[in-house]
């Protein structure tokens, strides 16, 4: 997978204790990478990162602590860096705007400075958000060339992170000078709303559903008609890994901004109904608007650039995403086990069957499943009996 580019490579992931970061580390270890992470302590209980029990170097630190961050990057000497550390919540950003800007903007510059001072670094992928665009409530998707902006502090901070990334790329990692004055390629990735097993963050739709089930309470949803590019967490991660692959291969034409989103957007209430089809153990009602803070009504991504140039496309559709996500939580609340390794194995099998570009396995592996070894984190192919523990 991914041209076997990550096998034996040192990879550094910020935000590795978070929902998306922990899934990325799981996959990278399965690809044979030597992974190190830098992040705050897990912010939720339960924690997907803790449930996975990954055998990896883990530095607990604040992305705003530039000296500690620099030491961590220098110590690990990574070839590839994925930057996911962030304050990720819109409504929290209204309560803590300064913290949000410091984490998402200054934190990005801190990470890029640490990479600039570490000779081993060859590829950097800064993960921002689909909310980095100046949202005009358009009915068509935003392209990478559209204006950046942000109504709320979170969205604005992600736009600023993109601007910082562009400035560092132009000033220090210019693709035109690649191979002469420097050897680093820098990209940014803008993904939509992700769902999947292991997310317990506040103010997120799926975790709110699961808390309602666990506490036997009615689920309250706000903005039921809000439309978002919902996708399984593994879909954008496959895009990040493809992007990292191209940068590690020295293909400077990929050192740009990229969108990764689903084929179609879904309204909030349709997501709730979709989960309810597979996990019919909760009731919900629409929460009155009241004096709630502004949130975008419609947000779409145009991902034609990634589809055409990276040859990336989503693997799982909406119903498959709802099914896999609901089953992950059902299993967890029944027996306390995280089915993430099974989900990753199933995802890879479906990608292989669907002939996705990144899953172009060796001829002898066609028609087989891929399973992540629970203890070592290495990927191994097994006969097509379906993923198992």
Per-domain residue ranges of the chain: 2-265+294-327
User: In a 10 Å sphere around its CB, with 0-12 CB exposed, 13-18 middle and 19+ buried, how is residue 57 labelled?
Assistant: middle
Question: Measuring CA to CA, how many Å separate 26 from each of 32, 93, 205?
Answer: 10, 29, 23
pTM of the model: 0.90
CATH H-level, domain 2-265+294-327: superfamily: NAD(P)-binding Rossmann-like Domain (3.40.50.720)
pLDDT tens track, the chain, 389 positions: 999 999 999 999 999 999 999 999 999 999 999 999 999 999 999 999 999 999 999 999 999 999 999 999 999 999 999 999 999 999 899 999 999 999 999 999 999 999 999 999 999 999 999 999 998 887 789 999 999 999 999 999 999 999 999 999 999 999 999 999 999 999 999 998 899 999 999 888 888 888 888 888 888 887 788 877 889 999 999 999 999 999 999 999 999 999 999 988 888 888 888 888 888 777 888 876 644 666 666 788 999 999 999 999 999 999 999 999 999 999 998 899 999 999 999 999 999 999 999 997 654 454 334 444 444 444 544 333 344 43
H or E element, residue 80: strand 80-83
Give the C-alpha separation, 125 to 241, whole Å: 9
Question: Measuring CA to CA, how many Å separate 74 from each of 78, 117, 171, 184, 256?
Answer: 8, 8, 22, 15, 25
């Amino acid at each position: 997978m991914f041209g076997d580019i990550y096998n034996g490579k040192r990879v550094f992931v910020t935000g590795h204790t978070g929902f998306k970061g922990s899934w990325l580390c799981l996959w990278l270890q399965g690809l044979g990478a030597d992974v190190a992470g830098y992040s705050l302590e897990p912010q939720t209980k339960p924690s997907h990162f803790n449930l996975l029990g990954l055998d990896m170097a883990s530095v607990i630190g604040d992305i705003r602590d530039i000296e500690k961050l620099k030491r961590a990057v220098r110590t690990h000497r990574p070839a590839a860096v994925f930057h996911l550390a962030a304050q990720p919540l819109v409504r929290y950003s209204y309560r803590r705007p300064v913290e949000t800007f410091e984490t998402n903007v200054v934190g990005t510059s801190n990470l890029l400075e640490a990479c600039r001072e570490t000779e081993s670094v060859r590829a950097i992928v800064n993960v921002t958000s689909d909310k980095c665009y100046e949202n005009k409530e358009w009915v068509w998707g935003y392209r990478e060339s559209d204006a950046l902006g942000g109504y709320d502090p979170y969205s604005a901070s992600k736009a600023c992170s993109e601007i910082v990334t562009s400035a560092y790329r132009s000033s220090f990692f210019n693709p035109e000078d690649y191979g002469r004055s420097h050897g680093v390629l820098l990209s940014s990735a803008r993904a939509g709303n992700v769902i999947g097993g292991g997310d317990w963050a506040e103010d997120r739709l799926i975790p709110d559903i699961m808390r309602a089930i666990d506490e036997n309470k009615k689920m309250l949803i706000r903005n039921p008609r809000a439309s978002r590019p919902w996708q399984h967490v593994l879909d954008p991660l496959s895009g990040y890994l493809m992007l990292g692959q191209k940068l590690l291969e020295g293909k400077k034409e990929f050192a740009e901004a990229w969108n990764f989103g689903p084929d179609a957007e879904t309204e909030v209430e349709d997501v709730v109904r979709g989960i309810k089809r597979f996990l019919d153990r909760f009731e919900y009602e629409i929460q009155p608007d009241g004096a709630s803070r502004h949130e975008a009504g419609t947000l779409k991504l145009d991902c034609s650039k990634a589809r055409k140039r990276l040859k990336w496309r989503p693997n799982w559709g909406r119903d498959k995403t709802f099914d896999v996500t609901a089953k992950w939580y059902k299993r967890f609340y029944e027996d306390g086990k995280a089915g993430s390794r099974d989900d990753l194995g199933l995802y890879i099998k479906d990608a292989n069957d669907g002939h996705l570009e990144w899953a172009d396995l060796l001829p002898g592996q066609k028609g087989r499943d891929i399973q992540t070894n629970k203890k070592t984190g290495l990927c191994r192919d097994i006969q097509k009996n379906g993923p198992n523990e």
